[in-house]
Structure 1
């Protein structure tokens, strides 16, 4: 794959991941503490650059989402280079939402092992298992995460046989 094809594949994956994340994340233009107590703004952006009480414009929120999602996609690309754009986009979204374990940690994730062995269909079908969060100290499936994981699977499987 030549450099321009690779750049298009990455850009396509970022666009797919943003399309999955945008409705799932919602939009809050003022910085707030998320359920884990992490200062957050826009569509799930966290980091040292988030300013408590600041109002962010829609353009700023869009730029933060694009920047964050590109980094998530590049994280997956570093773990498993050359994935098809749809698989890269779906796993970019889960990395954005959950961190790199699902895509990159072969000792903790069946999906990561399947990606590494190029069994993309099996990897995609592992995504729904990442629909849980702790509520009262107990891992429970959450409807929003279930919906998001299902959207990832639909994108991930597109065009795979």
Structure 2
């Protein structure tokens, strides 16, 4: 699935604000506001989830969450992701590459990222190969999922982008 024009514009606007801001724009808007889940649900692996992928014992299953609460959860949830990615990636990366890794790691978890061959590829200097490897991470609950394939394609596009013009296809 190609990145929507709306999401592409949000990411281009976020350029220069830092990888964390770009990742939040991506995660909070990869499907637009209608993609945000304000009511908790069980994901394909049976994990209780709300907002932009927040999981944890603090989810109130009968609660309707607000945009503000979802943004706050995402901001807090991304802090350990940022710390892990920033400490483990030993080569210089652009904002979009780093944001793609934050999104990916937010989704698969810091442990999976820290032990991945994708990280080894990155640290060996094969950024393009690592970005392409994102497409391998499309399974949940033992099944291949179209939603994960779409997400990984968008993360891959962002990972391969060196600047906003690359996102715009210029």
What does residue 48 of structure 1 align with?
57
Taking a change above 3 Å as real, the CA distance of residues 95 and 59 of structure 1, as seen in their structure-2 partners, is same
1:42-71: CA deviation from partner (whole Å, max 9, x where unpaired): 111112322221221111111212222333
Shift of 1:34: 2.8
Residue segments in structure 2 that go unaligned for 5+ positions in a row? 1-14, 164-170
Aligned residues: 145
Shift of 1:84: 2.6
Shift of 1:12: 1.7
**2:18 & 2:46 partners in 1: Cα distance?**
33
**1:159 & 1:36 partners in 2: Cα distance?**
34
One of 36, 46, 70 as aligned partner of 1:37: 46
Taking a change above 3 Å as real, the CA distance of residues 33 and 146 of structure 1, as seen in their structure-2 partners, is closer
Greater RCO, 1 or 2 (C-alpha within 8 Å, sep 6+) = 2
Could you say what the CA RMSD is over the residues aligned between the two structures, in angstroms? 2.6
What does residue 18 of structure 2 align with?
12
What does residue 96 of structure 1 align with?
106
What does residue 141 of structure 1 align with?
144
Residue segments in structure 1 that go unaligned for 5+ positions in a row? 1-8
1:97-136: CA deviation from partner (whole Å, max 9, x where unpaired): 111255321xxx32111112232111111110111223xx
Mapped contact 1:13–1:73 kept (Cα < 8 A): no
Runs of 4+ in structure 1 off by over 4 angstroms are: none
What does residue 63 of structure 1 align with?
72
1:159 maps onto 2:165 in alignment: no
**1:64 & 1:42 partners in 2: Cα distance?**
8
TM-score, normalised via structure 1 length: 0.76
